Structure 1
């Protein structure tokens, strides 16, 4: 990660722990170039999955539809 003080590209992680609510990770970083210390918070960014249909249209992914299709295909199996 880029140092906010000197712009050096590499920084070292000195401490890493989850936040109190568990939604992010707090990292204490150290820049070997200038000796600066800074904190970063990292969160997971969830993307919505998109399915590309045979006709070229895009539709949102439906987990229930996949589950139903699997159940139908396994219906007659012992």
Structure 2
């Protein structure tokens, strides 16, 4: 299992879904991530995955904001 940090506003929405569905926080977050990560199958094979991986900041003491990094990388990959 991996720890994930969610902004307060995101966590509020997760908690609403948990209350409405009776599911666990982990199930709700995993399902949301899975739905979005399935879109990766649409990424062209020509993408340089190693370049993308190396562009991500690793082991930052203040934590990685992976979503901001992925957006930035997506914009840079289009250049």
* TM-score, structure 1 normalization: 0.26
Point out which structure has higher relative CO (alpha carbons under 8 A, 6+ apart): 1
The structure where helix makes up a greater share of residues is 2
The structure where strand makes up a greater share of residues is 1
Larger radius of gyration: 1
* TM-score, structure 2 normalization: 0.26
